[in-house]
């Protein structure tokens, strides 16, 4: 690659986050359309037609019309190489989303303009804010009747605690949607072309449109103009540094479904979104993208993306240096040498073998079980270990067993591979060795059961254990006699002991009885 610094400066790597059904998969599709990667945008509403969203590759996603796994898609647009990580919207899969946020340089938050800020949006944003990730807001579904835009902006600032700056402003919504007042580009984008076939109207020096334009006599236009003047006088100023610090969110309005306002959003986003930046190691050192030493980390593992080939992909975010196909790297956890020869990148519904890649890029490494989520890989002799990725303490638990005892091999293989993806946790009873699954939400069990049957031909039996409080215990402090019916002793998949407490009362009782014993939870 001729000039790696120039290539890094062209990269924009971002995650799309939202509450379920806010339209993030649809907006992803439209961006792929602009990038020339797909000819026709699918929609998650197209279940009957069989035209599924390009980023919803898993069969259960296509059947239910939801995203339950992060998808990685790459395309070129406006001189930039864009890596989109389309995250699960469903809250049961928030752990996958949180890890994905560790692999991006900015985030796009999609909000339903009729519903406003929803609980899952707030939860996701807290992680974004914690990491000071620059966030861009897209109020979607303007083609439907929505809430007052001033009210939406105020709610965004109040609930999420972030300053906002509108880059455009809706002129009506739903059936009376006229267009967008684009403050940034000084033009009006019309929802439907005017009598002369124009889709855009330039703004005059005073921020209005020329006399004689039909729109100027429209009350909806005058109301929108009044609101624009209000936010320009009383609102925040556009501050690029505040955007990069994650303190100011540029706000856009539009409709992903009708592809209105998405292209102007994408162009403006690319002007303000940051290029790849340094990532920190466990020692607190910053690894700069321009470093000659190649490094990256595994933030996601996915089995059976192509069920016909039973493949398994480890998704790696490149942090520094240049990837070259066939290069040798060290897997930090095991200090083991690995040759990266079978590596792919994702372009909508196709994959391409990759010869070179730079910081900001996401590469998929074909994996036979070598990698774990959070693994660091690097070239050269200098050791690098990036910060740990978040893991959640499960709240729901189920005993799991094979329905057909003659199919134990596929049962154990399926469990081993799906657990390594990190969306469901595996435990075993201390004495009997029975398998127990732990998850953040019920949908994870449904997806697990579906995939075991459809991808591994293994029917399973799930026996609910209900809510439990999982607490790890130092092995040196463990006495098996501490276990009881109210605090079940189990092992995690790393052979570490933990108790599953029936409720908070049982946990308090245990602490009172064993005051010197230290109990620990995950994130």
Binding-site residues sit at 18-25, 86-90, 140-143
For residue 106, what are its two tokens? 């900015």
Q: Which of 454, 487, 452 is nearest to 472 (CA)?
A: 487
Residues 6+ apart with CB under 8 A from 248: 162, 163, 164, 165, 236, 238, 239, 242
Q: List the Cα angle 211/233/206 in 5-degree steps.
A: 20
Q: What are phi and psi of 52, to 5 degrees?
A: -95, 160
Cα 423 off chain centre by: 13
| Residue pair 397/336 in contact by the 8 Å Cβ criterion | no
**In 3-state terms, what secondary structure has residue 298?**
strand
Tell me how far apart the alpha carbons of residues 85 and 24 are, in angstroms, rounded to a whole number: 11
Tell me how far apart the alpha carbons of residues 90 and 66 are, in angstroms, rounded to a whole number: 8
| Residue pair 209/188 in contact by the 8 Å Cβ criterion | yes
| H helix count then E strand count, the chain | 12, 31
For residue 19, what are its two tokens? 């509450």
* DSSP 8-state symbol, 198: -
**Widest Cα–Cα separation across the chain:** 87
Tell me how far apart the alpha carbons of residues 303 and 299 are, in angstroms, rounded to a whole number: 14
Tell me how far apart the alpha carbons of residues 189 and 178 are, in angstroms, rounded to a whole number: 9
* DSSP 8-state symbol, 476: G
Helix (H) / strand (E) element for 240: namely helix 240-244
Task: Please state whether 483 falls in left (phi above 0), alpha (psi between -120 and 50) or beta.
Answer: beta
Tell me how far apart the alpha carbons of residues 169 and 231 are, in angstroms, rounded to a whole number: 10
Q: Which of 271, 29, 276, 84 is nearest to 167 (CA)?
A: 271
Any idea how long the chain is?
Answer: 523
Residue by residue, DSSP assigns 364-431 as: EEE-SS---TT-EEE-SSS---BPPPP-PPP-EEEEEEESSGGGHHHHHHHHHHHHHTTSSEEEEETT
Q: Which of 392, 394, 391 is nearest to 467 (CA)?
A: 394
Q: List the Cα angle 202/203/206 in 5-degree steps.
A: 160
Give binding residues for GTP as ranges.
18-25, 86-90, 140-143
For residue 514, what are its two tokens? 């064993």
Residues 6+ apart with CB under 8 A from 205: none
| Residue pair 373/299 in contact by the 8 Å Cβ criterion | yes
């Amino acid at each position: 690659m001729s000039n790696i610094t120039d290539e890094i400066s062209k990269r924009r790597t971002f995650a799309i986050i939202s509450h379920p059904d806010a339209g993030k998969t649809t907006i992803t599709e439209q961006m792929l359309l602009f990038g020339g990667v797909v000819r026709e945008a699918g929609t998650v509403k197209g279940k009957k037609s069989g035209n599924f969203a390009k980023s919803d590759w898993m069969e259960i996603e296509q059947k239910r019309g939801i995203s339950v796994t992060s998808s990685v898609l790459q395309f070129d647009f406006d001189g930039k190489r864009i890596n989109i990580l389309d995250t699960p919207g469903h809250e049961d899969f928030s752990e996958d989303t949180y890890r994905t946020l560790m692999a991006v340089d900015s985030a796009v938050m999609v909000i339903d303009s009729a519903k406003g800020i929803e609980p899952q949006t707030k939860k996701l944003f807290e992680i974004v804010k914690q990491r000071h990730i620059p966030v861009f807001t897209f109020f979607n579904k303007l083609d439907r009747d929505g809430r007052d835009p001033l009210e939406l902006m105020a709610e965004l600032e109040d609930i999420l605690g972030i300053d906002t700056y509108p880059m455009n402003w809706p002129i009506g919504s739903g059936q009376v949607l006229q267009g967008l007042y684009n403050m940034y580009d000084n033009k009006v984008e019309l929802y439907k072309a005017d009598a002369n076939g124009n889709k855009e109207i330039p703004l005059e020096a005073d921020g209005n449109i020329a006399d004689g334009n039909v729109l100027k006599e429209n009350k909806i236009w005058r109301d929108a103009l009044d609101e624009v003047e209000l936010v320009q006088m009383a609102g925040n100023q556009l501050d690029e540094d505040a955007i990069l610090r994650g303190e100011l969110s540029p706000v856009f309005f539009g409709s992903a479904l009708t592809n209105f306002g998405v292209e102007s959003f994408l162009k403006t986003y690319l002007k303000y979104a940051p290029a790849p930046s340094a990532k920190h190691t466990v020692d607190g050192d910053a690894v700069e993208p321009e470093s000659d030493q190649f490094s990256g980390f595994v933030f996601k593992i996915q089995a059976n993306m192509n069920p016909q080939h039973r493949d398994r992909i480890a998704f790696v975010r490149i942090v520094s240096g240049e990837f070259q196909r066939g290069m040798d790297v060290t897997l930090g956890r095991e200090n083991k040498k690995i040759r990266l020869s079978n590596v792919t990148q994702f372009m909508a519904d196709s994959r391409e073998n990759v010869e070179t890649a730079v910081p900001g890029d996401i590469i998929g490494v074909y994996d036979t079980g070598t990698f774990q989520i959070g693994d660091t890989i690097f070239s050269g002799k200098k050791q690098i270990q990036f910060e740990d990725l978040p893991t959640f303490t499960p709240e729901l638990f189920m005993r799991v067993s094979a329905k057909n005892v003659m199919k134990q091999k596929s049962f154990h293989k399926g469990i081993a591979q799906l657990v390594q993806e990190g969306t469901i946790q595996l435990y075993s009873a201390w004495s009997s060795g029975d398998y127990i699954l732990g998850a953040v939400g019920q949908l994870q069990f449904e997806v697990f059961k579906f995939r075991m049957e459809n991808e591994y031909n293994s029917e399973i039996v799930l026996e609910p254990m209900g809510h439990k409080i999982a607490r790890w215990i130092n092995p040196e402090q463990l006495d098996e006699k501490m276990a009881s019916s109210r605090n079940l002793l189990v092992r995690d998949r790393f052979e570490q002991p933990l108790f599953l407490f029936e409720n908070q009362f049982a946990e308090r009782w245990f602490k009172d009885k064993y005051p010197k014993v230290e109990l620990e939870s995950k994130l």
